[in-house]
Amino acid sequence: MKLPDELAEEGKKRVEGFPLEGFVYGSGPQSPALMLVGEAPGETEIHNGIPFSGRAGKELMKFLEKLGLSREEVYITAAVRSRPYRWGEKKERDGTVTKRKYNRPPTKKEIMAHALLLDYEIEHVTTPVIVTLGNIGLKRLAGNGYKITDYHGTFIKGPIQKFDNDTYSWTEKEYLIFPTFHPASIFYNPRLAELIEEDISTLKKFLKEHQ
């Protein structure tokens, strides 16, 4: 499934002047085993155009392996298509300081600016379940009241948020969302690995029953 060029162009135009760079398309079949919704691409992804191909991607591929799935069998996308960055200073070993770009989470405004891109994919991809990775994807679809720590590993069935005249409204259709932690969260909090394992087992059971 490929986002129409006009829509991608509209998404790019909507974030002109924002501290974002690059543009990464979602990728995967029209009828995947599941759909993954991440946060936003990082440095690796904006250079090769492949979602989740960097460090977090390696972790994600381990999740998929445990589910018995390959990258080709799932649809991978994100709430924001461009890399949110901030300028920071890096101290080199020789004491010199260089300016460089660091990743940061996307803002609400950035998520809304690219909301119509994710809406299109959700409307055109047929999937038994949407797996959100981290708080950004979960809140974008289920609403701000949902927190990953409370809802990870559970199934949320109901309407989801879609872009509507510079705000969100609810879809008529109901979707099944399964939130889990973002694979990069393990780097900051290794204890989450255990919870992710449990979530993967729950999801695996669901996928077996819905083959």
What is the binding site for ligand URA (CB under 6 A)? 38-42, 45, 51-52, 54, 56, 78
| Residue 140 beta carbon to ligand URA: minimum distance, rounded to whole angstroms | 11
Closer of 120 and 181 to ligand URA (Cβ):
181
Closer residue to ligand URA, CB minimum distance, 53 or 127: 53
Q: Which amino acid is residue 35, in one-letter code?
A: M
Q: How far is the CB of 88 from ligand URA (least distance, A)?
A: 18
Nearest distance in Å: CB 46, ligand URA: 9
Residue closer to ligand URA, measured from CB, 78 or 112: 78
Smaller CB separation from ligand URA, 105 or 158: 105
Nearest-CB residue to ligand URA?
Answer: 38
Cβ nearer to ligand URA, comparing 28 with 51: 51
| Alpha-carbon span 59 to 62, nearest angstrom | 5
DSSP 14-55: HTTTSSEE-----BS-SS-S-EEEES---HHHHHH--TT-SH
**Least distance from ligand URA to the Cβ atom of residue 139, Å:** 14
Output the smallest distance, CB 165 to ligand URA, in A: 26
Which residues contact residue 176 at a Cβ distance below 8 angstroms, ignoring those fewer than 6 apart?
Answer: 128, 129, 130, 155, 156, 157
| CA distance to 34, 110, 126, 137, 180, per residue, from 192 (Å) | 22, 27, 30, 18, 10
- Is residue 67 within 8 A of residue 200, CB to CB? The reply is yes
